[in-house]
């Protein structure tokens, strides 16, 4: 049993109790250390939906960090242990050196929450141009090496040769390898593919399932769901969310169809379903769709950009440009999210539905978009919520998207240009000095 206890009603000194060993710890001049770690079982989970079954019992002290939580907090020191942020303060705490695994001086570099990729094909996507175009599963380092410490997986066009069960298995694999992961049940089509036989049952009985997605609308690859089918599925996820405390989100793939978001607007007009249930993605694939989504955000819906790779499509709105326009126009800043479509197929079709071009999504486009925004003069504290806290709030991801005491220790260290220096996921370094130090099971 390892027990670390400090209470402000105690004296300024507390102790680490390991068997019969007492080791004094001083809180220093700043605010008291207020935390409690109990590691009765070293293999217990720290928190539902997160990774690191075997947290490091030693402490890491991070010094001189320019913290954006995502709002700017100035230069702080952080104490990390058992996968969590245990303490944050201006003064360096005085700790017995036997407790520290390491002490890291960031010398004023930015420290931010880890990025949350809310839409990734973790089992691989694709298949629109034949079986040979099925993308393989995305390995751990393609997420953490791009600053992504939390991911939400889903199925897309191919919800036949890929299944909800394989998706859940990949979520569990990524957790075992050291990052946080969840998923949606279903896929493009209606009725949705499930594990237990119904969408509501999947959400209620499977811990990592947060909602239904990506259900396709306004796309020739969709099942052409009717209004009644759409709102019935939305009600399923909403009620399951009420039962479980989960997000209960209907994550909607938007295609190039001219109907755009008309079904969602009609649902808000004609039903009692709350706006937060509907989360449309790929909203920047057409200028008219982006403008429609901006207006939808004013009705209370979170709307999701895709960090598409650079394209020659003049009607597409680049992710960095879309974020800049959205914020400058005064739309609700807390209702905008961004995801990568990592591992997914990014096809281009002609008017006859024939494939003319094919690319694939990568999580690294999130960080590329962030850097582009910085180059455009956007303050990091203004744009960071789009990549972190906004999606954490929508999906009710406890301990994610913010740097605060008690939150998961998912950290990015960036230089002034946005280049990635270090990545910590649940208290373990995955990237140090730009080098990947933890890789997936089958990575070399």
For residue 40, what is the domain's CATH number? 2.30.40
Segment among 146-150, 356-360, 409-413 with least mean pLDDT: 356-360
Residue range 289-318: mean pLDDT, rounded: 91
| pLDDT tier for residue 102 given thresholds of 50, 70 and 90 | very high
**Is there a domain that residue 436 lies in?**
no
pTM: 0.87
- For 144-198, what is each residue's pLDDT tens digit? 999 999 999 999 988 898 999 999 999 999 999 999 999 999 999 999 999 999 9
pLDDT recorded at residue 346: 61
Q: Is 341 a catalytic residue?
A: yes
**Is there a domain that residue 251 lies in?**
yes
Query: From start to end of 10-146, where are the E strands?
Result: 13-18, 21-26, 36-38, 59-68, 72-81, 84-89, 100-105, 110-113, 115-120
Residue range 24-36: mean pLDDT, rounded: 43
Whether 77 and 138 share a structural domain: no
**Boundaries of domain holding 85:** 2-112
CA distances for 207 relative to 48, 72, 179, 181, 210, angstroms: 8, 33, 16, 11, 8
Q: What is the Cα–Cα distance from 185 to 344, expressed in whole angstroms?
A: 16
Whether 51 and 152 share a structural domain: no
Alpha helical stretches, state H, 93-186 = 141-144, 164-177
Annotated catalytic residue: which of 158, 202, 341, 408?
Answer: 341
| pLDDT tier for residue 132 given thresholds of 50, 70 and 90 | confident
Whether 195 and 171 share a structural domain: yes
**Is there a domain that residue 444 lies in?**
no
Whether 101 and 122 share a structural domain: no
Residue range 404-411: mean pLDDT, rounded: 98
**Is there a domain that residue 350 lies in?**
yes
């Amino acid at each position: 049993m390892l027990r670390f206890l400090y209470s402000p009603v105690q004296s300024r000194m507390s102790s680490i109790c390991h068997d019969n060993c007492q080791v004094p710890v001083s809180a220093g001049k700043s605010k008291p250390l207020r935390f409690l770690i109990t590691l009765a079982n070293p293999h217990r989970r720290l928190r539902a939906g997160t990774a690191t079954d075997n947290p490091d019992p030693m402490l890491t002290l991070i010094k001189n960090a320019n913290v954006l939580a995502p709002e700017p907090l100035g230069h702080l020191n952080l104490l990390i242990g058992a996968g969590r942020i245990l303490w944050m303060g201006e003064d360096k705490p005085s700790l017995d050196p036997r407790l520290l695994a390491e002490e890291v001086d960031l010398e004023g570099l930015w420290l931010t929450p880890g990025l949350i990729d809310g839409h990734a094909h973790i089992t691989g996507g694709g298949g629109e141009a034949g079986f040979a175009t099925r993308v393989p599963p995305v390995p751990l380092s393609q997420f953490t090496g791009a600053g992504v410490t939390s991911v939400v997986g889903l199925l897309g066009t191919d919800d036949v040769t890929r299944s909800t069960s394989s998706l859940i298995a990949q979520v569990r694999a990524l957790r075992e390898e050291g990052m946080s992961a969840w998923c949606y049940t279903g896929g493009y089509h209606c009725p949705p593919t499930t594990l237990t036989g119904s969408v509501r049952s999947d959400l209620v009985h499977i811990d990592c399932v947060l909602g239904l997605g990506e259900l396709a609308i306004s796309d020739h690859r969709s099942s052409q769901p009717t209004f009644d089918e759409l709102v019935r599925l939305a009600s399923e996820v909403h009620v399951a969310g009420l039962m479980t405390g989960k997000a209960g989100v209907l994550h909607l793939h938007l295609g190039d169809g001219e109907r755009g978001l008309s079904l969602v607007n009609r649902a808000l007009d004609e039903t009692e379903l709350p706006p937060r249930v509907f989360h449309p993605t790929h909203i920047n694939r057409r200028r008219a769709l982006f403008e429609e989504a901006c207006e939808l955000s004013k009705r209370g819906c979170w709307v999701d950009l895709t960090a598409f790779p650079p394209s020659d499509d003049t009607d597409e709105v680049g992710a960095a440009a879309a974020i800049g326009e959205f914020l400058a126009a005064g739309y609700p800043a807390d209702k905008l999210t961004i995801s990568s479509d990592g591992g997914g197929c990014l096809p281009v079709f002609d008017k006859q539905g024939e494939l003319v071009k094919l690319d694939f999504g990568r999580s690294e486009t999130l960080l590329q978009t962030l850097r582009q925004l910085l180059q455009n003069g956007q303050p990091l504290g203004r744009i960071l919520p789009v990549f972190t806290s906004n999606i954490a709030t929508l999906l009710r991801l406890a301990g994610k998207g913010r740097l605060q005491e008690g939150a998961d220790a998912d950290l990015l260290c960036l230089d002034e240009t946005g280049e990635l220096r270090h990545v910590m996921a649940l208290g373990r370094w995955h990237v140090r000095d730009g080098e990947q130090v933890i890789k997936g099971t089958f990575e070399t």
